[in-house]
Amino acid sequence: MSISLPSTGTFTIGDKSVHRLGFGAMSLTGPGVWGPPRDRGEAVRVLRRAVELGVDFIDTADSYGPYVSEEIIREALRPYPEGLLVATKAGFVRTGPGQWHVVGRPAYLRQEVEMSLRRLGVERLDLLQLHRIDPEVPLEDQLGELRALRDEGKIGSVGLSEVTVEELERARRVVEIVTVQNRYNLTLRTSEDVLRHCEEEGIGFIPYSPIAKGALAAPGSPVEHVAKAVGATPAQVSLAWLLARSPVVMPIPGTSSVAHLEENLGASTVSLTAGQLEELSGS
């Protein structure tokens, strides 16, 4: 196994500079992102192994479990290593497995920030991302509350999730936005305009669901062809493609398995030629 996270480059969020290949902690829960994981011990080992291998950016949310992911992060990693950035999110209420309901009322967002501080055992959330914009609540009220929490020192930086360029720019008129987290990978690039806008503005772009699956990973696909050529797995090639896509891209592959974690982080040593990048991008 070869891993070299420094080769991925870094991105600065607030007062911390982190490697661009991070870890997404949604998988450290039960089916439907609900309840505890089948193997809590393995979930703890995954987090500790990730940090051992140099991961210093972990993404979670209060709604993962709900609360389970944040609690396991605290169990596994507190006291937190210097330089580690744990980002969390608020804005979803969970009523059962696979059920997600947007709630952006200011009082609710403040409550969840307070509870995330308690669950993670920190005095400040380095990065709090609004999980979704609530269409029933004025955007200015939602982001205004996060700005107030930032000004109080309870949040270090503010980010967004699943937004358009227009929504991002509206939000930036209320509070500084340092990251955007949209679904983006080799097979789904509907957020290409958001990525390019983030690149122009120096905003971190966090692609969730970053590993291409399905047809592109099937036998004879471009991903398989490139993977064989460079001696890597399709997952590693998919992550390497993302890292090469833009210097603001910060993939956060998630898993509940140490072996799978190590495979994903192996993407840090995969080097793709211009021709291979073009082949993948045109697929």
Per-domain residue ranges of the chain: 9-210+246-251
Q: Give residue-wise pLDDT tens across range 162-181.
A: 999 999 999 999 999 999 99
Average pLDDT on 60-81 reads: 98
* DSSP letter string, 30-77: -GGGBS--S-HHHHHHHHHHHHHTT--EEE--TTTBTTHHHHHHHHHH
CATH number of 9-210+246-251: 3.20.20.100
Average pLDDT on 101-105 reads: 98
Q: Give residue-wise pLDDT tens across range 196-246.
A: 999 999 999 999 999 866 666 677 778 988 999 999 999 999 999 999 999
**Whole-structure pTM value:** 0.96
Element (H, E) at 24: strand 23-24
Q: Is 108 a catalytic residue?
A: no
Sign of the CA dihedral with 31 first, then 32, 33, and 36 last: negative
pLDDT of residue 221: 79
